[in-house]
Amino acid sequence: MTPGNTGLARFLLPWRCALCAGRARDGRELCDECDAGLPRAEQACPRCGIRMARTDVTGVCGRCAVRPPDFYRMVAPLAYDYPVDRLLLGLKFGRRMHLARALGQAIAEGVRSQVEQGVLEMPEALAPVPLHPRRLAKRGFNQAEEIARLIAREIGVPMLPDICRRVRHTRMQSRLSDEERRLNVAGAFACAQSPLRPAIVDDVVTTGATVDAMAAALIAAGAERVQVWAAARAG
Ligand SMILES: [Zn+2]
Ligand SMILES: [Zn+2]
């Protein structure tokens, strides 16, 4: 037995919860209590993922009833509240890569349960939202790709990390208005030949402008039905 053998150490040492450092079941990033305590997104519009008071007759929010996005369904199982916001920031800016696992597992579970209920079809491939090469060089990794890799492994659907490229360097979206965000990302993506039914994967969706621009680019590249998967929908 060599203590330096990480495979063996992983086998001998109990898994630790990423939030409370308590004991987690093998292969899980969160312990059962922290996992059960994550705030879930209840009553979301199935099309765009925003919180709704309740489902009206059309089944979608008022905005989607008037001007639906290019993607036809969003799966964002968690609410953007504590500690989900902390997990997302920890991955993106704290380089805590193992958090991609916790977030990917939450998304994979949300997807599985919707597929079992018969309200969601499995996509043919996962397309993580790409970063512009300049931002990728600065950050060193793409958080959407880290999450998508995890989901791909969990549900057995291939990930196509290079299917879309960011062809324009866009400003950080956080300080822009809805309309400015839409203009900021319009034409920002170029995609190679797309499968008919891809699912875009991002860490968190805010206004949906970025994933909508990418969905439009995938449709231009041959996709017919585009889904969007994220850990949470903010706002
Ligand atoms: Zn815990
Ligand atoms: Zn909606």
Q: Which of 88-97, 160-169, 207-216 has the lowest mean pLDDT?
A: 88-97
Interval between CA 34 and ligand 1 midpoint (Å): 4
Interval between CA 16 and ligand 1 midpoint (Å): 8
Q: Point out the ligand nearest to the CA of residue 208.
A: 2
Burial class (CB in 10 A: 0-12, 13-18, 19+), 88: buried
Residue 187 domain flag? yes
Q: Point out the ligand nearest to the CA of residue 76.
A: 2
Band of the pLDDT at 5, cuts 50, 70, 90?
very low
What total of structural domains would you count in the chain? Answer: 1
Interval between CA 43 and ligand 2 midpoint (Å): 11
Residue 27 domain flag? no
Residue 183 domain flag? yes
Interval between CA 20 and ligand 2 midpoint (Å): 34
Residue 228 domain flag? yes
Which CATH number fits the domain that encloses residue 75? 3.40.50
Q: What would the mean pLDDT of 6-33 be, rounded to a whole number?
A: 76
Residue 165 domain flag? yes
For residue 83, pLDDT beyond 70: yes
Kindly list the protein residues that place their beta carbon closer than 5 angstroms to ligand 2, a single-atom ion.
45, 47-48, 60-61, 64
Residue 29 domain flag? no
Enter the pTM of the model.
0.89
- For the record, the structure tokens of 72 come out as 């036809």
Residue 28 domain flag? no
Q: Which domain holds residue 76?
A: 39-233
Interval between CA 84 and ligand 1 midpoint (Å): 13
Burial class (CB in 10 A: 0-12, 13-18, 19+), 75: buried
Residue 34 domain flag? no
- For the record, the structure tokens of 84 come out as 């989900």
